[in-house]
Amino acid sequence: MSEFLCLLIGFVLGGAVGVAASYLTARRVWRSVRRMSARKRGDEHFRELGHLVAGLAHEIRNPLSTMNVNLQLLREDIARGGQPDRTRCLRRLDNLRGESDRLREILDDFMRFAGKWEMQPEKVDLRKVVEELTDFFSAQAEASHVVLRTTLPDDPVPCEVDVGLFKQALLNLMINACQAMDEGGELLVRVSTARGRACVEVTDTGCGMDAETLNKVFDAYYSTRKGGSGLGLPTTRRIVHEHGGGIRVDSEPGKGTRFIIELPLSREWPPAGYAGSHIFFASTT
């Protein structure tokens, strides 16, 4: 038996175990959530968690199905005896690896969204946070043929935020906006204050959303873009809520979309030791 055939058999056995383990893990999680939901039917948290896990199960079904098909085809190739066609087997191995990576990304996204977050808030001038992020994003906007404009007030906008998480929330909105403008357009990021609240608006000139899409836009695993995780906007909403803020969206087909984030203003400003530039950028990948 050739070394290559041994490698195939090992991969098939390992892949089959991985698929079975993924399925059993998902089933255990789902049963656990159902039990908890049954005990606390009036608890919104458990209902939302049940919906989230149901979405996860739906998302992993396709890659698991593809992996099972390729594993079966590999098994048939090996069962025929003799030397299997190397090119065909390698192609199927590549398919398995790709679906395995996709499955891992789905689970990683789920854990990031559903897991416990350790907030590290600090008092900052929100103008500086937005200015840094838009500077960082300008190259991507230009590559998408999008004109990025930023409007900032003259006075500081003091807020207490976890800078890395807030930048992730805002970056999700800006990426979505660019994706809504397939042929280019304008993206406006505006910061203002009103009634003791800071306001950050992200407005695009894209295709807009109809009423049905608008009602589902913050639902976990809902996406109108092929290949989208469906967790970008729900993650943004959770980050904003973790900061004691709120987020809403206005949109109309053919007239673009505007997301509005509101956050509490910090009462103490400037904070002790503030030098006007103590803002860091955290990776959002």
What CATH number should be reported for the domain holding residue 225?
3.30.565.10
The confidence band for 13, taking pLDDT boundaries of 50, 70 and 90, is very low
How far apart, in whole angstroms, are the C-alpha atoms of residue 154 and residue 135? 18
156 and 251 belong to one structural domain: yes
Average pLDDT, the chain: 77
Of 109, 114, 106, 115, give the one whose Cα is nearest residue 58: 106
Q: Look at strands 146-151 and 185-194 and give their pairing.
A: parallel
170 and 234 belong to one structural domain: yes
Name the range with the highest mean pLDDT among 39-53, 205-219, 248-262.
248-262
Q: Tell me the angle at which helices 86-114 and 3-39 cross, rounded to the nearest 10 degrees.
A: 30
Please write down the long-range contacts of 98-103, taking CB distance under 8 Å and 24 or more positions apart. 99/63, 99/64, 99/66, 99/67, 99/70, 100/15, 100/18, 100/63, 100/67, 102/63, 103/22, 103/60, 103/63, 103/64, 103/67
Query: How confident is the model at residue 267, as a pLDDT?
Result: 75
Of 166, 143, 139, 168, give the one whose Cα is nearest residue 231: 168
Residues 117-129: what's their mean pLDDT? 91
The confidence band for 268, taking pLDDT boundaries of 50, 70 and 90, is low
70 and 160 belong to one structural domain: no
Q: Pick the residue with more confidence: 23 or 233?
A: 233
274 within some domain: no
The residue count of the chain comes to 285
Q: Pick the residue with more confidence: 41 or 82?
A: 82
Q: What stretch of H or E contains 48?
A: helix 44-79
Query: How confident is the model at residue 209, as a pLDDT?
Result: 92
Query: How confident is the model at residue 58, as a pLDDT?
Result: 64
Domain that holds residue 40: 3-114
206 and 174 belong to one structural domain: yes
pLDDT value at 115 more than 70: no
Report how many domains make up the chain.
2
Query: How confident is the model at residue 134, as a pLDDT?
Result: 95
Tokens 């996204």 belong to residue: 109
How far apart, in whole angstroms, are the C-alpha atoms of residue 253 and residue 85? 52
